[in-house]
Amino acid sequence: MIRDSWFTVQQIDNNTFAISEYGHWEKVHSFLLIGDERAVLIDTGLGIGSIVRITDQLTNLPIIVITTHVHADHIGNHDEFDTIYVHEKDSDWLMNGIRGLSIEQIRVDIGRDITIPTPKTFNPETYTPYQGEPTGFVADGEVIDIGSRKLIVYHTPGHSPGHICIFDITNRYLFTGDLLYDETPIYAFYPSTNPVDLVNSLERISGIKDVSKVYGSHNTLGLEPKILDEVKLAVKFLNEKELVKFGTGIHKFNGFSVKF
């Protein structure tokens, strides 16, 4: 049991951990997946607290960071790791800054509605998202073997051009980043988003077979796979009603919602 002033660590199974930031309004989850030879950290959180102090307590294996997408709340601690992968279509944002979001807006969002004390090192007025060159790229359909555990990458654009989901083939966990989660709307209304791509990506993940649990990067930790059946119905509804375009607002379904 790891106790920390900022992060909440929840064990999913013997080799899978959620590292959550419930004190921030975004309720961000990063995920540590441990294999026999290496570990994968899916995203690195907000950057308010040092996530490596948590991962160092959970594994001694070398850690590969796989980025679901390049938004500030998912790359906050990338500078604490040597090996970072991202989809090529988000690589420019990682190296040169996040398109369509000003630093002023990012600082407002990172510093608001925080409900627990933050580390003394955090200052929202000077907060700057990580920028740097990735170690390499992950591609659609790529299988990552970390030793007795295999992960497959799905390129699922829409929320960002290079957004990916990761399916843990071994344990049948589907990590959906910001493509699918509950409680608050999935965002596809920024100029840098693409509503058509997002709905196509939702349709794609709804067809993944034998999912045992869905892990989005915000809000409730772990959704039942039946939500994928609802996703199929939602995609059909949105397309038939010609709602897949900017400005049509929030569309609510059983267990999730989308904002265009």
CA-to-CA dists, residue 66 to 74, 163, 216, 219, angstroms: 10, 11, 15, 20
Contacts of 58 (CB under 8 A, 6+ apart): 2, 9, 17, 32, 34
pLDDT of the chain, 260 residues: tens digit per residue = 899 999 999 999 999 999 999 999 999 999 999 999 999 999 999 999 999 999 999 999 999 999 999 999 999 999 999 999 999 999 999 999 988 788 999 999 999 999 999 999 999 999 999 999 999 999 999 999 999 999 999 999 999 999 999 999 999 999 999 999 999 999 999 889 999 999 999 999 999 999 999 999 999 999 999 999 999 999 999 999 999 999 999 999 999 999 99
What domains can you pick out in the chain, each with its CATH number? Answer: 8-184+208-225 (3.60.15.10)
